[in-house]
Amino acid sequence: MTTLFDVRRDERGPLLTAACGFFFVLSALMLLRPVRDAAGAAGGMESVRLLFMVTALVTLALNPVFGLLVGRVGRAQAITTTYGFFGATLIAFWALLGAGSGMEGRGGQAFYVWFSVLNVFGTMVFWALVVDRFTREQGTRLFALVAMGGTLGAVFGSWLTSRLAQPLGALHLLPVSAAFLALAMLAAWRLDRVMPAQGAANGPAEAWPPDDAAPISGGAWDGMRAVMRSRYLAGIAGYVLLMAVMATLVYLTRLRMVGTVAAGADAMAAMLASIDMWTQIVFLVLQCAMATRLGRRLRTGTALAALPLATAFGFAGLAWQGSIAVLFALEAINRTMQRGVARPARELLFTRIARDGKYKAKAFIDTFVYRMGDVVGAQLDAFGGRALPGWGGMAAMAIPLGLAWALLALWLGRRYEQGRHGAAKR
């Protein structure tokens, strides 16, 4: 491992802890993602578009709450509270939906919104901790390996849902997911404890602050204000927004196609989980390559630009041959490049900003901005269906967006290479 992946002896414990923690996070999320998708699709595509808007509003409402939380308690307490709260709400949904009509109707729609919020907050909180615990130099070498742990969790979670959704019932996967969140919380707590002793800073600019475990001062809306004041953070927000827009276009197309061949929420959840599982396996192969010394030779801007270019190429293929096989290939490419190449590179961007930005600005970008991308993507999908029907019309929208996204990625890469950025610095 030391030779192939460039992991030093004193980094093995923290790296394994981080990878295991992300494994638990994505196991919890991928267990329920097909359940969420099946519940949303039951109401039709117009209902899904409305749910995107509600999700964005709920996410915006929770951002100042999270900002207050990290401003009042220590980092470990904030993470414990976040995961504990979301795990408890999953148990509450399980009890309430079990006593009602299950995943059908309003209850299923409420679960769709809440799980969509959990999906972005759960991932964001863990990555914020990882970015804060590892130095920039360590991140260059180790973030891809941490992401591999998450991919293994995504494969496992998808496999578990494909096996249990029909015999057990999709609803009864909620407490299983809550148990994985509890394990993720323990791993985060362990990483927070071990890294001050294990991590090594690379110089004065990256030295651990003396009050490392203290609350982060400031107000509830500091994250939003920081993004508005910083071109660098605004650029990251724009990158995430475009990423979510493109992913939503793929996602809505997949829901329409799968809905024509699978009847019932449990059957649809099982089929979606199988698709997710095979996509994650392909993704894992690429991640292994990216985590090696050879894969790390990619510059940050190039790694960020690979996702938009691959997605634009995939939409061109969809316009050329509009089949379900091509769509699944496009989704596999999109997810693989997003989490295997772009995600570690995107997390590196946050190592260049001050500690408050790693939690507050990152929270705003990775939650609300991402969910607003869902809303924009849903509206583009509706517009394309009316004004530019067919695969060619969707490609006509997606390809120019992909090229603009790639240019933004290259600009972010140059800014990252130039040096450190404060959370509010221009």
* Residues 6 or more apart whose Cβ sits within 8 Å of residue 16: none
CA distance 109 to 104: 8
Judged by phi (left if over 0) then psi (alpha if -120 to 50, else beta), residue 102 lies in left
Residue 98: name the closest of 169, 29, 166 by CA.
169
| Residue spans of alpha helices (H) in 260-299 | 265-291
Asked if residue 206 has pLDDT above 50, the reply is no
359: closest CA among 132, 137, 143, 139? Answer: 132
Please report, as a single letter, which amino acid is at residue 289: A
Structure tokens at 208: 């651990």
User: What pLDDT, in 10s, does the model give residues 361-394?
Assistant: 888 888 889 889 988 988 888 877 665 666 677 7
Q: What is the pLDDT of residues 55-100, one digit of tens each?
A: 888 988 888 888 778 777 777 788 888 899 999 999 998 998 887 7
Pair 341, 250: CB distance under 8 Å? no
Tokens 């220590």: give the residue.
74
What confidence category does residue 207 fall into, taking pLDDT thresholds of 50, 70 and 90?
Answer: very low
Identify the H or E element spanning 52.
helix 45-72
pLDDT digits (tens, 9 = 90+) for 210-250: 445 555 555 556 778 888 888 999 999 999 999 999 888 88
Q: Are 45 and 255 in contact (CB under 8 A)?
A: yes
CB 71 within 8 A of CB 310: no
Per-domain boundaries in the chain: 8-199+218-418
Kindly give, in sequence order, each residue whose CB lies less than 8 Å from that of residue 112, ignoring residues fewer than 6 positions away: 36, 39, 40, 51, 55
pTM, full prediction: 0.70
Helix (H, G, I), strand (E, B) or coil at 102: coil
Helical spans, DSSP H, in 321-425 = 324-337, 343-349, 355-356, 362-363, 370-387, 390-418
Q: Is the pLDDT reported for residue 43 higher than 80?
A: no
Residue 413 neighbours by CB distance under 10 Å: 21
Q: In degrees, to the nearest 5, what angle opens at C-alpha 237 toward C-alphas 232 and 241?
A: 150
Q: Any idea of the CA torsion for 182, 186, 189, 190, to the nearest 10 degrees?
A: -160
**pLDDT of 5:** 64
Residue 20 has which token pair? 């295991």
d(CA 176, CA 173): 5
Separation of alpha carbons 354 and 400, rounded Å: 34
Q: Which of 165, 141, 417 is nearest to 274 (CA)?
A: 165
Residue 184 above 80 pLDDT? Answer: yes
Tell me which DSSP letter residue 208 carries: P
47 against 255, higher pLDDT: 47
Tell me what pLDDT residue 130 has: 87
Question: CA-CA distance, 223 to 146, in Å (whole number)?
Answer: 25
**CA gap 126, 128 in Å, rounded:** 5
CATH of domain 8-199+218-418: 1.20.1250.20
Q: How far apart are the first and last CA of the chain?
A: 40
| Residue predicted with more confidence, 99 or 157 | 157
Question: Tokens 């894992």 label which residue?
Answer: 284
What are the start-end ranges of the H helices in 199-323? 222-229, 231-259, 265-291, 300-320
